[in-house]
Structure 1
């Protein structure tokens, strides 16, 4: 509990807004259940939880770095963060489920899914910015600028593995051999590379826009 409070207080303003946005999203799902008496779209709650995992990890890591804790532990957390990072951007692909919405609820479902996608992308972009800050403590600005688009591309590849091949972050422990084989296959597939490039490019552009905005307002 103390750790949760510490993480929340590490950036109280942003975390308060994220908490309010999350409550709003949960409220939207409650309304949908009342309207339809079905649990359709409730998977968004789990997806949103997974989207927050890398945000919590990078926030915790930021505290570890500031307190000059063990580098081995920090790099271990960073590796886990990288594995879970695609989850933050994955929710946007849930828009595909709009095909299952009836005409009466289509626009409402659009708001519901896009709201979850927005908060997922938001914590993902914040995670990237926090990662960049940490990275700059170890390497030069030039190397950092080269690594960031690679991270975004890897996130795009992770989304491909999740949405198209139906893997999840836990498969690296439960099904590592098959996952590794499919990663190798995907790295040679034009379709998967194109998917990773345009999705990774989309992530990088949003991250870059936020970075420019922050620079202008400093």
Structure 2
């Protein structure tokens, strides 16, 4: 009975946060398929959706910072078995799922850049987005802004960014976050592409814009 009560407590404590954060993380992933995999022209609607994609994208790597909730649960749960069999798997699957959504979103972007003959811009685009997400993660974790604050509180958001970018501690946090995202993204990208490539689930474009798959 004590174990069941502990399990219910863990789920009630984390279910809402995990569900909401995963929902936010998968929004840009869904948009990335619409933007980058459907061959749509860059119309006004396309650019509007692209802006929404960028606004919500930091929510995916932001989940990495939720490791603090894993630490809280480990501290509050006395059972080693509950920590091993429930707390760790729950949080690790949650964190990996959110970050994987980020990786797949950028892989789709890279596919699009290859398709339009901009393959040399992929690394620069990825690093630029990592930097934007590092700033977004800082704004979400510390001043506690959300993606929709771009519309609801644009003045406050801009002033906070300007003020924080001249502070040593915020800049250090943003830089460390950028490094962590960059390293993890590279590792996850290699694994993801290898798996998808072997399964024939994705195609890549050569410089002449002809697609190539594992079967070729």
TM-score, structure 1 normalization: 0.74
In structure 2, distance between residues paired with 1:197 and 1:96: 19
Alignment of 1:88-127 (within 5 A): 88-101=60-73, 102-104=76-78, 105-107=82-84, 108-127=86-105
For residues 149-208 of structure 1, the C-alpha deviation after alignment (integer angstroms, 9 at most, x for no partner) is 111111111111101111111111111110111111222222222222222222222332
Comparing 156-165 with 185-194, which one deviates more in the overlay?
Answer: 185-194
Conserved? CA contact 2:60–2:99, under 8 Å: yes
Are residue 197 (structure 1) and residue 175 (structure 2) matched?
Answer: yes
Alignment match, 1:13:
none
More helix by share: 1
Are residue 61 (structure 1) and residue 14 (structure 2) matched?
Answer: no
By how many angstroms is 1:146 displaced? 1.6
Conserved? CA contact 2:149–2:157, under 8 Å: yes
Alignment of 1:63-212 (within 5 A): 63-64=37-38, 66=39, 68-101=40-73, 102-104=76-78, 105-107=82-84, 108-138=86-116, 140-212=118-190
Gaps of 5+ in 1: 1-30
Conserved? CA contact 2:110–2:119, under 8 Å: no
In structure 1, distance between residues paired with 2:70 and 2:118: 44
Alignment match, 1:40:
13
Count, aligned residues = 186
1:166 is paired with a residue whose SS is coil
In structure 2, distance between residues paired with 1:50 and 1:32: 29
Larger gyration radius, structure 1 or structure 2:
2
